[in-house]
């Protein structure tokens, strides 16, 4: 199972000619465990959300739209925290894997943060966080209806919270030690870091914006929030697709042949 | 441009780091002005104690191969390249001397070899 996961990962990264290694298999297994944990937590949170929604529906005095949006926001924060928590647990597993290596390899020169996380992370963050803050600010400051302005403030607070959570995840991904025993596995380490960085900046604010759009009082606010939500989800999808298919290091002999 | 640490090697880890960085600086794989990883970063990546990498950096700095510029970080120093240039100049002067004395290339190399061995012999263990 582990071997198949590593095989798929290498194939996706255009390195079908590379054999899987115990190190890559162990690292992907650690990622799989942490992702499973994050998804289970997300499932529990969603189940609680649905249960509360049903209770609310049956209640004689339903809550305000703002309170409902705040609650949904809290659920997303819980899911985001679960995703970052998964990254931390994965980091702990990877340190254990690294400690077992008899040979360790690192870059001899400083690597920029932008190189570590990759340009897709930067684009996704700019659209998700930057776009979310801008959308929230515009609605909070410019909407005619007071309820829309409240939605704008809620969006601002939510995007700020997600940005902070994402920052924690990013710091963890950047600062964690490289787990590599040769040049190829050091290249893999960079690719895995980029994939993990994207996990830290998942487009939760976009989902919140979609819900806020439905509750808005004017067409302009609705379209604004929806445009942001669609842009953030599309960019996140493209980023995920591109990063998961970025070329991995090729076998040394083949690289030399290709370069010759 | 990698640094490799082998736990099986009889060479102490700090010397493995020092020797590899020195080699890459001298053969200009790491060119003048290249920023090296921080001590903490390299130690973490290689699974070493911070003091181990700090010792390697200290010795490279004493040899003039790297320099620390405050909080900006540690960089490959131009002094190391200047040292090589001085060695080349000294070798050119030596070549002129042995030619003027009528000493052949083979004997001139043997003299240099003996001088290097004598210098190495004087180094502390």
Report percent pLDDT > 70 for chain B. Answer: 94
Residue of A106 and A158 predicted with greater confidence: A106
pLDDT digits (tens, 9 = 90+) for A39-72: 888 888 878 877 877 787 787 776 666 676 677 7
- Cα–Cα nearest to A108, from B65, B101, B111, B102: B65
From A152's Cα to the closest Cα of chain B, the distance in A is 41
Residues of B in contact with A105 (CB under 8 A): 2-5, 46
| pLDDT of amino acid A234 | 94
Task: Report the pLDDT value the prediction gives residue A255, as an integer from 0 to 100.
Answer: 37
What local confidence, expressed as pLDDT, does residue B12 receive?
Answer: 93
- On chain B, the residues whose CB falls within 8 A of the CB of A107 are 1-3, 37, 45
Mean pLDDT of A226-232: 92
Helical ranges in A59-202 per DSSP H: 65-99, 113-117, 119-125, 131-142, 146-175, 183-200
Q: Residue A177 and residue B45: Cβ atoms within 8 Å?
A: yes
- Kindly list the residues from chain B whose CB atom is less than 8 angstroms away from the CB atom of residue A186: 2
Query: Which pLDDT score is estimated for A62?
Result: 66
Confidence of residue B60 (pLDDT cuts 50, 70, 90): very high
**Smallest CA–CA distance from A189 into chain B, residue:** B45
- A105 - beta bridge partners? B4
Chain A, chain B: beta-carbon pairs less than 8 Å apart: 64
pLDDT digits (tens, 9 = 90+) for A234-260: 999 999 899 888 887 655 443 333 333
pLDDT band at B123 (very low <50, low <70, confident <90, very high): very low
Between the alpha carbon of residue A183 and those of residues A68, A134, A166, A215, B40, the distances in Å are 51, 42, 29, 52, 21
Across the interface, of A108, A177, A186, the residue whose CB is closest to B44 is: A177
User: In this model, does residue B125 exceed pLDDT 50?
Assistant: no
Smallest Cβ–Cβ distance between B2 and the set A98, A107, A177 belongs to: A107
Nearest CA among B64, B55, B59, B62 for reference residue B87: B64
pLDDT at A253: 41
Lowest mean per-residue pLDDT among A65-69, A219-223, B19-23: A65-69
Token representation of residue B78:
């131009």
């Amino acid at each position: 199972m582990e071997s198949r996961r590593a095989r798929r990962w290498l194939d996706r990264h255009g390195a079908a000619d590379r054999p899987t290694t115990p190190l890559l298999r162990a690292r992907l297994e650690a990622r799989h465990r942490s992702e499973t944990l994050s998804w289970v937590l997300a499932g529990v949170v969603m189940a609680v959300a649905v249960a509360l929604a049903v209770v609310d529906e049956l209640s004689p005095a339903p809550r305000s739209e703002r309170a409902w949006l705040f609650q949904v926001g809290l659920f997303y924060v819980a899911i985001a925290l679960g995703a970052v928590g998964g990254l931390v647990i994965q980091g702990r597993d990877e340190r254990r894997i690294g400690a077992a290596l008899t040979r360790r390899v690192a870059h001899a020169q400083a690597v920029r943060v932008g190189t570590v996380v990759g340009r897709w992370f930067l684009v996704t963050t700019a659209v998700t966080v930057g776009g979310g803050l801008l959308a929230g600010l515009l609605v909070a400051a410019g909407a005619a209806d007071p309820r829309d302005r409240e939605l704008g403030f809620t969006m601002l607070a939510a995007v700020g919270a997600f940005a902070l959570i994402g920052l924690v995840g990013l710091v963890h991904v950047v600062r964690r030690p490289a787990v590599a025993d040769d040049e190829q596995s050091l290249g893999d380490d960079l690719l895995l870091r980029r994939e993990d960085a994207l996990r830290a900046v998942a487009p939760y604010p976009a989902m919140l914006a979609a819900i806020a759009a439905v509750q808005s009082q004017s067409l302009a606010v609705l379209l604004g929030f929806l445009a942001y939500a669609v842009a953030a989800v599309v960019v996140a999808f493209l980023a995920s697709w591109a990063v998961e298919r970025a070329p991995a290091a090729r076998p040394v002999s083949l690289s030399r042949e290709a370069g010759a | 441009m990698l640094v490799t640490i082998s736990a099986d090697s009889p060479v102490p880890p700090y010397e493995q780091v020092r020797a590899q960085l020195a080699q890459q600086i001298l053969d200009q794989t790491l060119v003048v002005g290249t920023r090296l990883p921080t001590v903490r970063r390299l130690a973490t990546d290689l699974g070493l104690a911070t003091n181990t990498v700090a010792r390697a950096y200290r010795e490279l700095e004493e040899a003039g191969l790297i320099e620390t510029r405050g909080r900006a970080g540690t960089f490959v120093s131009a002094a190391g390249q200047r040292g090589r240039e001085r060695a080349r100049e000294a070798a050119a002067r030596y070549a002129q001397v042995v030619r003027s004395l009528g000493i052949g290339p083979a004997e001139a190399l043997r003299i240099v070899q003996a001088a290097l061995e004598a210098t190495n012999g004087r180094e502390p263990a």
